[in-house]
Every structure is written in structure tokens, then in C-alpha cells.
């Protein structure tokens, strides 16, 4: 007999996500459904606006991928207007966006995902001296000195944890599945993880400051405009550029000496999961590509992360990416619409058909019909996964020198075959690999900005005739966000927005079935996973968190008259 596990809400993510998994008698997941239970409407409020304002509004979709929607929106308008921005503007935008990647990925690994692998309560049994030796061991695997090798640091954290427990409460750690049989780290390894967790909490502020140097503020930067950037004084002032670099070098050290070693440690201890392809899912990946490396112009530049599509894990035959091949399907999403539409013609027309059906007093999603506020994007005729893993897979498949070098080094150090990437562990490892690559390339870019400014090039903005270019135009901003491929499509008529569509990374990954009944990436990744204890669905959290969900990107309720639309109370104490 099959049973359902309902996890609602999934915590340690952004936004509101519900997962329903169907398990068989052996607790193996045989089917799964992903649902966003709140509505997004930002596309509708952009209609009729001045296209130059869209970036500032669209960015409010989310406070996590800060500035990403801003950049994609501005790029969509620049694409529509045929504008190529100056070199300084390109580099500054890359520095703002790169700061977000290293910020977001570290926060995700430690503060949103680590506790799926690290058992905090077990750390209480750790010997701090042995923990120091453990940290040194994994740093050696990474080829670096350990971030924390002082026993005293581990002892302090252990004492802090003991104090928590003595008071009879674990504070923010209170609701974990501690002691679950699916945790594999030793007490010392758990103490290393918890110690770096706390240190990362402090350090992530530096990454936020990096963004704010050129962006003006964080989370929502302010200095990007159609045609360039406005942070003229920061580009002219060498000490501002130097400050970015100082913060970067300190943060980069943590990435190399704590984050990467911890991923080697967890990857090795959870090698069984990795080698058995647990959580692989669709095994089809797409990247729009991102980070322009030169100024040859729109979508002609060489990119740090190449674009492309890899289907069914076939690294030998990557496909070229074609922006025309994207559609959104609403067969199982609460929107009106008969057939899949390309985003240029996309609609955001809600059609709520009710939450679901009641069985034995429990309401389940009506999965035969509509069951999510997220649409189902389709590439050509394939469902695909997006994100850091997709970027690394596409980079390797396209034989990108830099991406291949970082991925190969990681796999060699970890003693893993390439296929290990097709798993939950692989998804988590790919994010770490990307973070190290990004931290290194940011050093090159900040130096490039300094030398370009020192050479006397201080141009930051390109002039354009708004009336002329905006009478009728359309464009897209297709590039990457930390969580994957992000697209903004704009149609402009008489200087105003005639249609605006956004397809975010979590739309690709968290989507429901399409009209052919094919699963979205989250749904596919859960099938085949064995749950040790159905009352503690740790394995579901582990795999879903490996995508770094941001449903907030897909959750915007807006009433243009400012009226309150509803009050929601979320009880996080009963998440199963």
C-alpha cells in the first residue's frame, strides 16, 4: 500500500514550498509532487510602466538573489534598445553579481543545507583535539592549510552548544531530526561543520559589503541603469576598489580553507549516496551562460559560464542553446491557458481551481489537475534542471577550459568519477566548485577594473535616444542567477511596457508536471530515494535543499491599492 509524506512548509528555503512524496512499503519514494502554494504577480504590475524603471521594481521579487533580477531586467531593456554598455559597467556588474554568487552559495551551504548532513547534537560528543585533526585532514585533501586548526576554537563551540542544551533548548536548532539514521558524520566531523557554520554567519557580511561597494547597498543594489552604472565615484576611487579586493581575499580564504574541505569531508562520508546517483533526477541540464568577458556586444561576448543544453547525462553531445525553444506550460499550474507559450507571448492569468482533495481528514494536492502556482517551463521538448550543477555540467560538456579545470581538480581530490555529479551530493559539490572558481575570477576582474580606471577610461554609461528606441522594441535578459537560468522578456510599445514575462531558476526546478505528465526537476530527483524514517523525512529535505529553492522568486501578492490580501500563519513545528 502506498503512503504519502507531506512536507509543508519546507523550511530553510526562501518562500513557501510543499512537497508530497508517495512511498511504498519499503519507504522508497515512488512518486513526488512539488507545489508552490502562494501566488506571484510581479509581471502584471510591470505592465504599462516606463521600461527604464522595470529593474528597480522587478528586483523586489526577491531579497535573496539580490540584484540578479535587476540586472536581467536592465539587460532585457538594453537588448531591446540595442545598447552595448561600456567596459567599466560590464566589469562592475560582474563584480556585483559575482559577490552575490560567493555570498549566496556559502550561506546556502552552511545555513540552509549543512544541517541535512551535519548532526548538531552529535557534535556534543566530539573531542575538540580530534576535531582539529579532522579539519586538518580535509584541508589537506583540498591542498590548503585548515581554516581553523586551533583546538580552542572547536572547544569553544562545543561549550557553547553544551550551554544551549543545559538550558533545555536548542534555539534555532530545536526542530532538527537529530539522531536520524541517515546522518553519517562522526561527532568530530559534526563539530567541524557546526564551527564553520557559526564562522560563516559572521563572514558572510563581508560578501554583502562587497556588493554594496559598487551597488550602493545590499540586498537590493541601486547603481545599475539602462546603459551602464552610476557608481562613478567608486570606480574613480582606488581605495574603494582596493576595499572590495581586501574583503574578497579574506572571504576567498574561508571558501578555500573551510567550505571546500567541508564538502570533501561530507562528500566522502556520503559517498554511497553519491555513487548510487541518489537524487539525480532529470539528468538533463540547461545553462543560458553568464558573465561577459569582453565588450564585443550583446550575446556575442565570450562567457565565463558557457550556454548550452545536456540531455540525459550525455556529456559528449551538448546542444547549442536556442532562446526560441523556451515555453511555459500551465496544464498543472493555477493559470489559464490552452497551449505552452514562449515568454514573449506569455500570460500571467491566474485560475485557482482549489487546493486539492480530502482523504481521511487530510487535504492532498489534486495532482491530476492543477496543483501549483509555478508554471512548467519546457526547453524544446525536454524538462531540464538549471543551477550550479547545470553550469558545471554544460561547461565540462562544452570543454570550457576554466570550468573543466575546477571540476576535474575537485573530482580528482575527492577520488570520485565524473558520474558522481549526477546526484544530490554532486549538486552540492558543483555549487562549491563554482564558488571557488568565482572567488578566483573575481580577483582577476577587480584588478582589471583597477587597471582600466588607472589607464584613464572612466566611462560608465552610454547615451541613447529613449524616444527613438522605445517606440516599438522587444528584448530579453537571459543569463544566470545563483540558482540557475533566469530570463526576463520585455515587449515595449510607445515607450511603455506592453508585456513582461519572467521565468526564474526555481520555476524550472520547482515546477509541476507539464501537459505530457513529465516531472519537474525537484519531483524527478526524489523518485527512488529511500526514506529511513517517514516521520523524519530528512532525505527529502537533503535533496530538495540541494537545489537551493527560492520560492519567494515565485511568490508575490500585490494589490495595487495597497489593501491587505490575507494573513498567513505558518506553523513550523509540524512540518511532516
Nearer to Mg ion, 506 or 543 (CB): 506
Transcribe 519-545 into DSSP letters. Answer: --HHHHHHTTPBPS-TTS-HHHHHHHH
Least CB distance from residue 510 to ligand NFE, whole Å?
8
42 Rama class: left (phi>0) / alpha (psi -120 to 50) / beta? alpha
Residue 502's binding partner among Mg ion, ligand NFE, none (Cβ under 5 to 8 angstroms by kind) is Mg ion
The helix or strand, by DSSP H or E, that contains position 17, with its residue range, turns out to be strand 17-23
Nearest to 158 by CA among 196, 197, 127, 202: 127
| Residue 418 near residue 426, CB atoms below 8 Å | no
| 438 in contact with ligand NFE (CB under 6 A) | no
Least CB distance from residue 45 to Mg ion, whole Å?
13
Nearest to 213 by CA among 191, 246, 175, 185: 246
* Contact map string, positions 485 to 504, toward Mg ion, x by CB under 5 A: -----------------x--
* Contact map string, positions 501 to 530, toward Mg ion, x by CB under 5 A: -x----------------------------
Piece of the chain touching ligand NFE by CB under 6 A; list 317-325, 353-361, 468-476, 504-512: 504-512
Measured CA to CA, the distance from residue 14 to residue 473 in angstroms comes to 34
| 385 in contact with ligand NFE (CB under 6 A) | no
Measured CA to CA, the distance from residue 354 to residue 469 in angstroms comes to 44
- Radius of gyration, alpha carbons of the chain: 23
Least CB distance from residue 65 to ligand NFE, whole Å?
3
Measured CA to CA, the distance from residue 371 to residue 24 in angstroms comes to 22
- Of residues 459-498, those binding ligand NFE (CB under 6 A): 481-483, 486
* Contact map string, positions 451 to 490, toward Mg ion, x by CB under 5 A: ----------------------------------------
Measured CA to CA, the distance from residue 20 to residue 355 in angstroms comes to 13
Pick the binder of ligand NFE from 19, 248, 277, 552 (CB under 6 A): 552
Nearer to Mg ion, 40 or 398 (CB): 40
Task: State the residue number with the nearest CB to Mg ion.
Answer: 502
- Of residues 56-75, those binding ligand NFE (CB under 6 A): 62, 64-65, 68-69
Measured CA to CA, the distance from residue 327 to residue 226 in angstroms comes to 27
Report the catalytic residues. Answer: 14, 62, 65, 69, 483, 506, 550, 553
- Residues that bind ligand NFE (rule: CB under 6 A) add up to a total of 16
Angle at 463 between CA 458 and CA 464, to 5 degrees: 160
Residues at the interface with ligand NFE (CB under 6 A)? 14, 62, 64-65, 68-69, 481-483, 486, 504-506, 550, 552-553
Amino acid at each position: 500500500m502506498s503512503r504519502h509524506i507531506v512536507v509543508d512548509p519546507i523550511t530553510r528555503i526562501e518562500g513557501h514550498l510543499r512537497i508530497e512524496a508517495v512511498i511504498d512499503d519499503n519507504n522508497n519514494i515512488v512518486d513526488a509532487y512539488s507545489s508552490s502554494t502562494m501566488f506571484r504577480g510581479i509581471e502584471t504590475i510591470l505592465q504599462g510602466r516606463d521600461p527604464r524603471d522595470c529593474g528597480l521594481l522587478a528586483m523586489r521579487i526577491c531579497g535573496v538573489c539580490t540584484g540578479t533580477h535587476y540586472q536581467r531586467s536592465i539587460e532585457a531593456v538594453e537588448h531591446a534598445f540595442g545598447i552595448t554598455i561600456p567596459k567599466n559597467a560590464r566589469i562592475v556588474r560582474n563584480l556585483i553579481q559575482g559577490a552575490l554568487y560567493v555570498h549566496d552559495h556559502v550561506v546556502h551551504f552552511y545555513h540552509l543545507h549543512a544541517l541535512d548532513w551535519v548532526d548538531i547534537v552529535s557534535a556534543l560528543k566530539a573531542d575538540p583535539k580530534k576535531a582539529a585533526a579532522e579539519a586538518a585532514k580535509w584541508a589537506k585533501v583540498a591542498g590548503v592549510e585548515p581554516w581553523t586548526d586551533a583546538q580552542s576554537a572547536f572547544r569553544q563551540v562545543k561549550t557553547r552548544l553544551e550551554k544551549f542544551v543545559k538550558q533545555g533548548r536548542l534555539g534555532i536548532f530545536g526542530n532538527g531530526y537529530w539522531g536520524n539514521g541517515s546522518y553519517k558524520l562522526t561527532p568530530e566531523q559534526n563539530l567541524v561543520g557546526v564551527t564553520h557554520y557559526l564562522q560563516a554567519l559572521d563572514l558572510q557580511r563581508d560578501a554583502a559589503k562587497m556588493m554594496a561597494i559598487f551597488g550602493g547597498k545590499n540586498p537590493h543594489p541601486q547603481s545599475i541603469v539602462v546603459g551602464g552604472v552610476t557608481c562613478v565615484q567608486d570606480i574613480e576611487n582606488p581605495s574603494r576598489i582596493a576595499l572590495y579586493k581586501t574583503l574578497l581575499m579574506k572571504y576567498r580564504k574561508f571558501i578555500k580553507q573551510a567550505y571546500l574541505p567541508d564538502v570533501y569531508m561530507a562528500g566522502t562520508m556520503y559517498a554511497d549516496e553519491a555513487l548510487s546517483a541518489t537524487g539525480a533526477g532529470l539528468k538533463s541540464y540547461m545553462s543560458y551562460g553568464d558573465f561577459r568577458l569582453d565588450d564585443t556586444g550583446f550575446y556575442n561576448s565570450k562567457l565565463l559560464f558557457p550556454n548550452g543544453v545536456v540531455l540525459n547525462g550525455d556529456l559528449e553531445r551538448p546542444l547549442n542553446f536556442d532562446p526560441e525553444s523556451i515555453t511555459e506550460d500551465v496544464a498543472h499550474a493555477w493559470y489559464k491557458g490552452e497551449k505552452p507559450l514562449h515568454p514573449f507571448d506569455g500570460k500571467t492569468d491566474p485560475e485557482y481551481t482549489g487546493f486539492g482533495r480530502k482523504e481521511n481528514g487530510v487535504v492532498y494536492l489534486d495532482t491530476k489537475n492543477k496543483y501549483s502556482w509555478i508554471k512548467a517551463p519546457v526547453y524544446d521538448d525536454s524538462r531540464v534542471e538549471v543551477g550550479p550543477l547545470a553550469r558545471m555540467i554544460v561547461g565540462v560538456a562544452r570543454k570550457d577550459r576554466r570550468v573543466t579545470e575546477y571540476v576535474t581538480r575537485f573530482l580528482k581530490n575527492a577520488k570520485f568519477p565524473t558520474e558522481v555529479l549526477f546526484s544530490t551530493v554532486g549538486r552540492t559539490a558543483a555549487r562549491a566548485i563554482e564558488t571557488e572558481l568565482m572567488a578566483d575570477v573575481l580577483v582577476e576582474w577587480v584588478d582589471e577594473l583597477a587597471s582600466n580606471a588607472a589607464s584613464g577610461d572612466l566611462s560608465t554609461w552610454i547615451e541613447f535616444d529613449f524616444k527613438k528606441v522605445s517606440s516599438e522594441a522587444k528584448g530579453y535578459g537571459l543569463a544566470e542567477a545563483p540558482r540557475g537560468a533566469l530570463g526576463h522578456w520585455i515587449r515595449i510599445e510607445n515607450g511603455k511596457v506592453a508585456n513582461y514575462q519572467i521565468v526564474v531558476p526555481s520555476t524550472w526546478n520547482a515546477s509541476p508536471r507539464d501537459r505530457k505528465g513529465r516531472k519537474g526537476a525537484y519531483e524527478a530527483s526524489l523518485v527512488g530515494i529511500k526514506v529511513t524514517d517517514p516521520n523524519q523525512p530528512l532525505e527529502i529535505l537533503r535533496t530538495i535543499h540541494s537545489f537551493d529553492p527560492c520560492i519567494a522568486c515565485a511568490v508575490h501578492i500585490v494589490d495595487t491599492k495597497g489593501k491587505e490580501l490575507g494573513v498567513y500563519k505558518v506553523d513550523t513545528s509540524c512540518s511532516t
